[in-house]
Structure 1
Amino acid sequence: MPCWIGWPATRVIIGGVLIHLTLGTLYTFGNMNPYITSYLRYKFRASDTDYSDTAWVYSAATMGMGSTIVLAGAIYDRFGPRKTVSFGCLLMSGGIALTYVTIQHSLALVDLTYGLMFGLGIGISYVVPMSCAMKWIPDRKGLACGLTVAGFGGGAFIFDYVQTWFINPDNDPLPKHVDDKYYFTQEKILSRVPPVFCVLAGCYAALQVIGILLLRDPPEMRLVDEEDDEEGEESSLTDGGLPTSFTSHGRDEQEQYVSWKQSWKTKDFWLLWFSLFFNSQGLVFFSTFWKAYGQTFIHDDQFLAVVGSFASLFNAGGRILWGYLGDKFSFKVAMLCLCAVFTVLMATYKLTELVGKSLFFIYVCLTFGTFSGNYSLFPVATAQTFGQRYFVQNYGLLFTSQVIMSVITAFTAPYIQNVIVWYGFFLLSTGCSFFSFILVLALKQERPFI
């Protein structure tokens, strides 16, 4: 199998990283959540608004992201990578810019712009750069995917600082304590919340334009004709529902694929779907609430911004590391290790309150570095199991598991928090990650990444 290397491949990966740097600012929501919630509580005297209410912003973004990845495949096939990503980035950056207006009116409108529109844009743009990178480096899919999505993990490293520096440059503490939660009340801080969305949208758009200009498919990669697709759908499945082969025009070798119309009927698909589903509980919870939890015993806003920024480096590096481990060993081995580490972290998180800042810093970094592996291992497992031809659509179907978990987490967060508070979240995440470990064990057939 040929391996496209050199400047053209490097350029595509750089473009993908720049695009994912902006898409990955989804992880800055944990940093922004205290500012957004505080603004809504005190600007409009909505004293009943708390962190469990604004968790719907993140859930709406995740729902938007998951619901459009399959659609992105159809747009990608018809218009190519640049137009597809341009459309997605326009939705994303436009939604953030509109939040300057919507946050001054209601939380529901923030859910729409900073949540749903943001997520719809991410979903359309997310998988295309990964698909391009894996086409340019087909014999190292794990590395290609890990390098590209490293940008998604690293976006918060830059923009956590930008957000905190813009909104709270003097590092003023959170003075208001309500039911073990802290909120800003300073007018000078709250007045800076709406304008920060304009600043962020402008920064994201600039990076996206550069990334889009660098993005393209290899010149010899041609999609299979629709007529061949129809024939291939019947012949590409074995009795067990796994791929046999198809012919990619313009290339000499036979490759394997399963249509997105058939993949969901296979046992492997559902094992992967439920594995990601249960792993998603911990990562959705932690991405949303890590800063709110830290504020219960750490009253230093800039320190928490530093924690978030360094954690994003682990988020980026973890994607490369786990992708490399998937290439070197297998998806199954790498994912078993990931689930085991994440389970231990969640089970022992309350120790951070006893030790303080130093252990909290270490745990947050390790947590982001661990769950980030889901986003380099599952895409490559999808391409390895079902082929490259329908990768975007198949991964979109797989990603619906995270959408459903996001909705469940948003609905149940207030009840869990009221009954067993923070310990309940950590205990639930521990159980879900361990169950994902069991599901990965059930993947009996080992197949090397292709």
Structure 2
Amino acid sequence: MSLCRRRRDPIADTIYTLSPFKRICVILFGAVSIHLTIGTYHTFGNMLPYMASYMRNFTDPSVRIEHMMWIPTFQGCFPFAMVIGGLTSSTFSPRVSAFIGCALVTSSVALSAYAIQHSFAMFFIVYGLLFGLGSGIAYVTAVSTAINWAPDKIGVVSGIVAAGFGLSSSIFAPIQTWIVNPMNLPATKDGYFVQPELLHRVPSLFTKLALIYGCMQAIALIVVCDPPFRKSRSNESIANDVDDDEEDDDYERPVFDNDEDTTIQLSPNEMLKSPTFYCLFAALFCCSFYANMFYNLYKTYGESFIEDDMFMAMAFSIASVANAIARIGWGYLTDRTSFQIALSTATCLASVFLLTMPMTRELGKGAFLFWLTGTFVCMGATHALFITATVKCFGNRHKANNYGYLILSTTASGILLAAISQFYLKTIGYTYLFIITSIFPFFAFIIISCIQWTPQGKLVT
């Protein structure tokens, strides 16, 4: 929260006059709408064959699917941007911070229509770095603002907002496929498209998506705000002696009902000295590795034995809906039990699904859809649970910056994944890739099983 003086926000005042249920619904509408647009980060796997095929045919013949894996890795630079988002939110306001993030995201998508036609390096910078920077700023601002309106329901609120991030794929993946491949033309066994009529639609896809994002974000930004300042009971007698102008000056930062009850409020520097942070960091590294691998390569794997591009889009849409619902469910389970129980359940199931995923090559479409959906349900735990653990372990006050440092682990895991994909995927093949990847969620399970022996670990067990 900002410690600097702020003007009163009339929109925040208006929202606060609503009933508690209605006000959180309004705030969640804004946060979820923003997450629906930036959540298209997870549609990279659906777009990957289109983008790689276009560049191989018109921009750079040396580009392969494996090389494109570096783009989501640097879209994943949003952990750095989350720290920036925390600073911009506290320096200016949540609405200004979210606007900066949304503007960067939409601009990057619009510019990608030009960049993909000229060079891989330009496309990498625009659709990778610029998109990642904007996503991180918008992501952390939206979710932390929503939590500020319901600090006693952190798990459910963060789960609902994260559900918007996950639900995005179910909405936009079919749209992308319908725009680029309305005739359901098949890819080659290597996962590339060669039909000119399909490839020529790829650049315009980015322009159309940017227009959709811009409209959604413009509406959502109206209600992105912190709750208004409320004096505690101990200050009520003082408040009665203050005139209206002086009371306006008291809008320094929101005060929440549970501020006095929160005993742990660690700054980023203090958090970085805690073994609990490094347990969470290592667990998130493992979870994000398997999740990013599956998000980005599920389609190229599936198309190696399923010649139905529209089925792949619809399967991804179904799995993404399950992922979105699961994010709320995992958040609810965390509030009712603990972070440790919820994440342990999700990681054990993920290991089983990944280890047995190669079986779907023989079992066919139905089995692929089941395994895809099951894995996506497990992946839903990652975004919903770790921000909850961050708040419970290190406090609410610095949650944006603290979570930004924690989620740096996703960048590290992304670099490892991109390197493996570029240099070893062709050699080891998908079967061994899934077997190796199944080890990562199991490692996360072991790490979280031991977290209670760290200083703040007992708060999430």
Task: Tell me if TM exceeds 0.5.
Answer: yes
Q: Does 1:33 align with 2:35?
A: no
* 1:71/1:124 contact within 8 Å kept: yes
Q: Which residue of 2 aligns with 1:231?
A: none
* 2:59/2:116 contact within 8 Å kept: no
| Amino acid corresponding to residue 91 of structure 1 in structure 2 | L
Q: How many residues align?
A: 417
Q: Does 1:285 align with 2:300?
A: no
- SS of the residue 1:253 aligns to: coil
Q: Does 1:353 align with 2:379?
A: no
Q: Equivalents in 2 of 1:392, 1:182: separation in Å?
A: 39
Following superposition, the deviation at residue 109 of structure 1 comes to 1.2
Q: String of CA shifts for 1:280-311, please: whole Å, max 9, x gaps.
A: 11111111111000000001010001011111
Deviates more, 1:69-78 or 1:247-256: 247-256
Q: Does 1:262 align with 2:276?
A: no
Following superposition, the deviation at residue 415 of structure 1 comes to 2.5
Q: Which residue of 1 aligns with 2:194?
A: 185
Query: Which residue among 151, 155, 159 is the counterpart of 1:138?
Result: 151
Q: String of CA shifts for 1:46-71, please: whole Å, max 9, x gaps.
A: 0x3221111111111012x1211111
| Amino acid corresponding to residue 203 of structure 1 in structure 2 | I
Query: Which residue among 51, 56, 75 is the counterpart of 1:61?
Result: 75
Q: Equivalents in 2 of 1:26, 1:253: separation in Å?
A: 38
| Amino acid corresponding to residue 261 of structure 2 in structure 1 | Q
Q: Which residue of 2 aligns with 1:107?
A: 120
Correspondence list, 1:303-322, <5 A: 303-322=311-330
| Amino acid corresponding to residue 58 of structure 1 in structure 2 | P
* 2:226/2:254 contact within 8 Å kept: no
Correspondence list, 1:342-421, <5 A: 342-421=350-429
Q: String of CA shifts for 1:336-363, please: whole Å, max 9, x gaps.
A: 1011011101110011111110011111
* 2:37/2:213 contact within 8 Å kept: yes
**Cα gap change, 1:162/1:432 in structure 2, threshold over 3 Å: closer, same or farther?**
same
**Cα gap change, 1:365/1:7 in structure 2, threshold over 3 Å: closer, same or farther?**
same
| Amino acid corresponding to residue 415 of structure 1 in structure 2 | F
Structure 2 residues not aligned, in runs of 5+: 1-18, 232-252
* 2:227/2:254 contact within 8 Å kept: no
Q: Equivalents in 1 of 2:314, 2:445: separation in Å?
A: 31
Q: Equivalents in 1 of 2:89, 2:148: separation in Å?
A: 14
* 1:416/1:425 contact within 8 Å kept: no
* 2:169/2:317 contact within 8 Å kept: yes
Q: Equivalents in 2 of 1:45, 1:109: separation in Å?
A: 12
| Amino acid corresponding to residue 285 of structure 1 in structure 2 | M
Query: Which residue among 69, 79, 97 is the counterpart of 2:92?
Result: 79
Q: Which residue of 1 aligns with 2:341?
A: 333
- SS of the residue 1:139 aligns to: coil
- SS of the residue 1:410 aligns to: helix
Q: Equivalents in 2 of 1:169, 1:159: separation in Å?
A: 14
Q: Does 1:49 align with 2:53?
A: no
TM-score by length of 2: 0.88
Q: Equivalents in 1 of 2:344, 2:60: separation in Å?
A: 47
| Amino acid corresponding to residue 198 of structure 2 in structure 1 | I
Q: Which residue of 2 aligns with 1:156?
A: 169
Q: Which residue of 2 aligns with 1:13?
A: 28
* 1:416/1:424 contact within 8 Å kept: no
Q: Equivalents in 1 of 2:128, 2:318: separation in Å?
A: 24
TM-score by length of 1: 0.90
Q: Equivalents in 1 of 2:103, 2:296: separation in Å?
A: 24
Q: Which residue of 1 aligns with 2:243?
A: none
Q: Does 1:216 align with 2:225?
A: yes
* 1:315/1:372 contact within 8 Å kept: yes
- SS of the residue 2:49 aligns to: helix
Q: Equivalents in 2 of 1:401, 1:182: separation in Å?
A: 30
Q: Equivalents in 2 of 1:44, 1:51: separation in Å?
A: 14
Q: Equivalents in 2 of 1:117, 1:380: separation in Å?
A: 27
Q: String of CA shifts for 1:135-177, please: whole Å, max 9, x gaps.
A: 2112111001111111100111111111111111111112x34
Q: Which residue of 2 aligns with 1:240?
A: none
Following superposition, the deviation at residue 413 of structure 1 comes to 1.2
- SS of the residue 1:334 aligns to: helix
| Amino acid corresponding to residue 211 of structure 2 in structure 1 | G
Following superposition, the deviation at residue 414 of structure 1 comes to 2.3
- SS of the residue 1:49 aligns to: coil
Following superposition, the deviation at residue 319 of structure 1 comes to 0.7
Following superposition, the deviation at residue 446 of structure 1 comes to 2.8
Structure 1 residues not aligned, in runs of 5+: 223-246
Q: Equivalents in 1 of 2:219, 2:401: separation in Å?
A: 26
Q: Percent identity?
A: 34
**Cα gap change, 1:390/1:221 in structure 2, threshold over 3 Å: closer, same or farther?**
farther
CA RMSD of aligned residues (A): 1.8
Q: Equivalents in 1 of 2:20, 2:378: separation in Å?
A: 29
Q: Equivalents in 2 of 1:182, 1:221: separation in Å?
A: 57
**Cα gap change, 1:221/1:267 in structure 2, threshold over 3 Å: closer, same or farther?**
farther
- SS of the residue 1:269 aligns to: helix
Deviates more, 1:104-113 or 1:440-449: 440-449
Q: Equivalents in 2 of 1:199, 1:77: separation in Å?
A: 33
Q: Equivalents in 2 of 1:320, 1:300: separation in Å?
A: 31
Q: Equivalents in 1 of 2:73, 2:421: separation in Å?
A: 11
Following superposition, the deviation at residue 221 of structure 1 comes to 6.7
